[in-house]
Amino acid sequence: MSELNNTPFYQSHIDANGKIVDFSGWALPIHYGSQIEEHNAVRTDAGMFDVSHMVVTDINGSEAKNWLQKLIANDVNKLKFVGKALYSGMLNDDGGVIDDLIVYRMDEAETNYRIVSNAATRDKDLAQFNKVAQGFDVTLTERPELAMLAVQGPNAISKLSQAKPAWAETLQQLKPFVGADLTEIEAQDWFVARTGYTGEDGVEVILPADAANAFFALLKDNGIAPTGLGARDTLRLEAGMNLYGNDMDETVSPYECNMGWTLALKDERAFVGRDALVAKRKASKEAGSAMKQVGLVLESRGVLRAGMTVTINQGTENEQTGIISSGTFSPSLEHSIAIARIPLSTTEEDTVQVDLRGKGKFVDVRVIKLPFVRNGEKQFD
């Protein structure tokens, strides 16, 4: 694994018997023995994920806010106070998704922000940041010296408070999508936010790399289970959350991957990709080719997988097709589920099928509105 990048938690993964795999060039654990047990720990108790491969970029300058207003599709004016977080797509000139990211407001003056973005898209993200920054008074500083640990599950806050009693009051006061600087409580460069990628309560902690392994050990000693990439994927899929490269990419419009709610189009703000996005959406609706994102449920035997074709109204004059972008066996529901892009015109009355083995033997699947599971509870009838 010497050719891979190690996160600051690498030794912790080895000590906890993590099975290390290559994830976008990073050596990360797929599991520590049982993916199912780790999944269930997060749904019912508390687990922790190493997400230090994510890219943290600090933004400062008198035009930092103006730069963000051009860079991303959501509206930075929604960040009404220090610590507030905003989820948004960053689009290309054609209206496709370069990446999805989170922006935090870091000061009162609206001159300091933080972006957390995906590891697999690091190079093109930073290139887009710098391209859009031309002409703006803004400085971009990547923070590779920081580590990041997600602590997720219904007992995540209570167990983290037990491990770090000095944080308890701050953690209890944190509302969803709000972060807090822990410098005065803990030390410089410690930050916590009530965000996550599992559909459960919890936080993500940013901390100095040299404190990573001791922090991991402390949380493990307080009953927070080490959790790998495998459980992270089944948890996020059950929660109906996109994975970049599967459910969205530069060829996919935000409207096609359930990110339409992140588009701030009510004012005239000229963010990158806006004009193409609006024009393509109008054209696809007029042509009857517009797509939408849905959940698929297979309650019979078999597993839905990414890349499988979804057929709607097979054998009729109204036959159409879509595609599965993510699919798996759901540990919480004990049958297969998938995220798919299908024609916008599809209704719940339409017959939807998938050829599981590519041999012309189609099985019926149900179409539901995402998510499948949130806060440990099934979200559909």
Q: What is the pLDDT of residues 2-37, one digit of tens each?
A: 589 999 999 999 999 999 999 999 999 999 999 999
* Alpha-carbon distances of 158 from 53, 174, 178, 187, rounded to whole Å: 26, 13, 18, 21
Q: Which residues of the chain form CATH 3.30.1360.120?
A: 5-50+146-238
Q: What percent of the chain has pLDDT over 90?
A: 96
Q: Residue 1 has what pLDDT?
A: 43
CATH of domain 288-378: 2.40.30.110
Mean pLDDT, the chain, whole residue set: 97
Q: How far apart are CA 62 and CA 325, in angstroms?
A: 41
> Residue 31, class by beta-carbon neighbours within 10 Å (0-12 exposed, 13-18 middle, 19+ buried)?
buried
Q: Which residues of the chain form CATH 2.40.30.110?
A: 288-378
> Residue 368, class by beta-carbon neighbours within 10 Å (0-12 exposed, 13-18 middle, 19+ buried)?
middle
Q: How far apart are CA 57 and CA 15, in angstroms?
A: 30
pLDDT confidence band for 347 (50 / 70 / 90): confident
Q: How far apart are CA 206 and CA 190, in angstroms?
A: 6
pLDDT confidence band for 358 (50 / 70 / 90): confident
Q: What is the pLDDT of residues 214-260, one digit of tens each?
A: 999 999 999 999 999 999 999 999 999 999 999 999 999 999 999 99
Q: What is the pLDDT of residues 155-184, one digit of tens each?
A: 999 999 999 999 999 999 999 999 999 999
Tell me phi and psi for residue 40, to 5 degrees: -65, -30
Mean pLDDT confidence for 98-118: 98
Q: What is the pLDDT of residues 41-72, one digit of tens each?
A: 999 999 999 999 999 999 999 999 999 999 99
Architecture of domain 5-50+146-238: 2-Layer Sandwich (3.30)
Whole-model pTM: value is 0.96
Q: What percent of the chain has pLDDT over 70?
A: 99
**Peptide bond before residue 371 is cis, with ω within 30 degrees of 0:** yes
